Chain A
């Protein structure tokens, strides 16, 4: 098995619900707690497994805001596991989930240095590296109804922008989506083979522009120069 996530950037509205659901589930989960520092102070901070960035691209009328959730990619060639000197970081044979064994971690930060995605955060109070577990304590829980055996972020997403499944199974929803919409990897050139895939925003219907009046010659020349320069 090769478990992972598909994130549809066309659907994501950047509401941060996945980050909150993740924090809520995992802070009392096997990798808990996700310590907060000075949560009611002037400069609150804390450990998160999932962070959402917001990007803007292009100029009107082709401008777009893209909401970009990022968590552990559970890489096939996970550099964080290779560099770990203690063996605390490991990748599970059976499902490919990358985990940290808190009994072995010495908090040297080396794995966080090796991760290009910022997926690992040190819990400064416990002195242990923490990261997304793909809700390993949820997805195999037989006490939960079958449809709820998914990571908390996937369960909670109000726009169903997140999908969870096995990429080794060509019939799984994630495999089908990924192949149908050409699922993309982040930072593929580093060669870590991230499992999580991103579905790019599809091209929008172009907004029709109405000319108020016929542009004069000077305007036309300027427009032409602009076009040439932009090429």
Chain B
């Protein structure tokens, strides 16, 4: 699949934004009104909201006819794309009302209500990331996406990125980060494990040219080979789905994604937490993690092989 930068940027930043907001919701649910002061809380919320807003805006850049983008919420009953869009829009008033309640110290009088609200923020954010993942995972035509690991990866990576930023903001504002070190490292490791499971599950071809043509040609004992694709130049289909990258390059990018996106942040946070404390390590960890995730998302597209390639010369996808 052709990796469009706008979509890569969208999935990484909106995932991080919703992951961050999910953690804020979870935090408030667990320690409502006690842990962080309002100023820090609003800084966190502003960072999270601007991250997913940037992502959502970027997602409209790949539309060929953006004037109809407002219609994208219409078919939420069947389309994961519409579900994602609709929830993303509904989320704005919900989060702003939530911030207002925090602002007026609503939790002092209505503790249980606010706790429920915090839990809703957490669950809804996770559901939105899940929807983003399902946009890709529901496509049976792209076997490398059509796996339950796809939404799991989107969630674990989004939450990990959010957690890195959260950790940094807390540390920067001199909060006691002692209790969270372990959870942050656990999150990064679980996102790495789920990503590696994904890579393991997509190894090898899933469909072959036989499934695409043999039923009709019905010469099951012999191999079918494409002789002529029937057009002289490139088409929309070859441009959109024919994107191929050399295996060596894929391997290099995969190594970079794993090292820069997961291992380096883990190591840096580990050093920062247990060996030598310096805020620079945190900043470096965030930058490398985002860079690594962009590579990981690029790979997600570049590695995906659409079955239509079976009609364009591939023997398997």
Shortest distance from the beta carbon of B144 to any chain A beta carbon, whole Å: 12
The size of the chain B interface, using a CB distance under 8 A, is: 58
Shortest distance from the beta carbon of B211 to any chain A beta carbon, whole Å: 6
Mark interface residues in B62-77 (1 if CB within 8 Å of A CB, else 0). 1111111101111110
B259 at the interface (CB under 8 A from A): no
**B141 near A116: Cβ-Cβ < 8 Å:** yes
Shortest distance from the beta carbon of B142 to any chain A beta carbon, whole Å: 7
A141 at the interface (CB under 8 A from B): no
Q: How many A-B residue pairs have CB under 8 A?
A: 189
In the complex, A58→B217 CA distance in Å?
11
**A53 near B215: Cβ-Cβ < 8 Å:** no
Chain B neighbourhood of A43, CB < 8 A: 233-234
B231 at the interface (CB under 8 A from A): yes
A88 at the interface (CB under 8 A from B): yes
**A107 near B230: Cβ-Cβ < 8 Å:** no
Within 8 Å by CB of B218, from A47, A85, A114, A184, lies A184
**B226 near A55: Cβ-Cβ < 8 Å:** yes
Mark interface residues in A58-84 (1 if CB within 8 Å of B CB, else 0). 110010111010100000000101111
**B63 near A57: Cβ-Cβ < 8 Å:** no
Known: A53-B228, A87-B75, A108-B63. A186 touches B236 (CB 8 A): no
Shortest distance from the beta carbon of B124 to any chain A beta carbon, whole Å: 19
B307 at the interface (CB under 8 A from A): yes
**A52 near B82: Cβ-Cβ < 8 Å:** no
Within 8 Å by CB of B68, from A9, A51, A104, A124, lies A104
**A110 near B65: Cβ-Cβ < 8 Å:** no
Chain B neighbourhood of A185, CB < 8 A: 215
In the complex, A114→B311 CA distance in Å?
15
**A201 near B75: Cβ-Cβ < 8 Å:** no
Known: A106-B68, A186-B212. A121 touches B236 (CB 8 A): yes
**A107 near B65: Cβ-Cβ < 8 Å:** yes
Chain B neighbourhood of A110, CB < 8 A: 79, 81, 135
**B236 near A112: Cβ-Cβ < 8 Å:** yes
Shortest distance from the beta carbon of B234 to any chain A beta carbon, whole Å: 6
Within 8 Å by CB of A53, from B64, B71, B74, B226, lies B226
Within 8 Å by CB of A201, from B64, B211, B218, B234, lies B218
In the complex, A127→B215 CA distance in Å?
35
B174 at the interface (CB under 8 A from A): no
A30 at the interface (CB under 8 A from B): no
Minimal Cβ-Cβ distance residue in B for A117: B308
- The segment from A142-150, A152-160, A187-195, A212-220 that touches chain B is A187-195
Chain A neighbourhood of B69, CB < 8 A: 106
Given contacts A104-B74, A113-B139, A118-B237, 8 further A-B contacts (CB under 8 A): A19-B230, A53-B311, A54-B229, A56-B225, A83-B139, A86-B68, A117-B308, A126-B65
> Could you pull out 30 A-B pairs where Cβ atoms are within 8 angstroms?
A9-B216, A43-B233, A43-B234, A46-B235, A52-B230, A54-B229, A55-B225, A55-B226, A66-B213, A68-B217, A85-B72, A85-B82, A86-B72, A86-B75, A88-B68, A105-B65, A105-B68, A106-B67, A107-B64, A108-B62, A108-B63, A110-B135, A114-B141, A115-B308, A116-B212, A116-B308, A118-B241, A122-B240, A124-B236, A187-B211
